[in-house]
Amino acid sequence: MNDESPDRYVSFVGINCDEKADRLMAMLKARMEETDSRWVGYFTKKLEEKRRMGNDNLYFVGSQVNSLSAFFEEIEDEAAEALLWDLEQNCC
């Protein structure tokens, strides 16, 4: 990637994608602490990979939309589902 490559977030100006992704990640971490769902192990592994690769929260959310949706649906977290839907529709 050269220095003249466009910023991949330029089209997201004004819709707070990074802030929404940060908020969803906080929700994910909180829910992981509250449940013994099979998804906890999965996300523990994926979050470690995220850290190791240096990916940001928006990239992680975009890469894990289906898994996040299944987890939030399983634990009946409607607020997280709504935020994830918004992110998917507007930011990913």
Chain segment 9-56, per-residue pLDDT in tens? 555 555 689 999 999 999 999 999 999 999 999 999 999 999 999 999
Q: Tokens 């996040």 sit at which residue? A: 68
For 59-69, the pLDDT digits (tens) are 999 999 999 99
For 79-92, the pLDDT digits (tens) are 999 999 999 998 87
Q: Tokens 């409607």 sit at which residue? A: 78
CA quadruple 65, 66, 72, 74: dihedral, nearest 10: 180
Length of the chain: 92
Taking 90 as the threshold, does the pLDDT of residue 71 lie above it? yes
**Count of helix runs (H) and strand runs (E) in the chain:** 5, 0
**What is the pLDDT, as a whole number, of residue 4?**
53
| Structural domain spans, the chain | 15-90
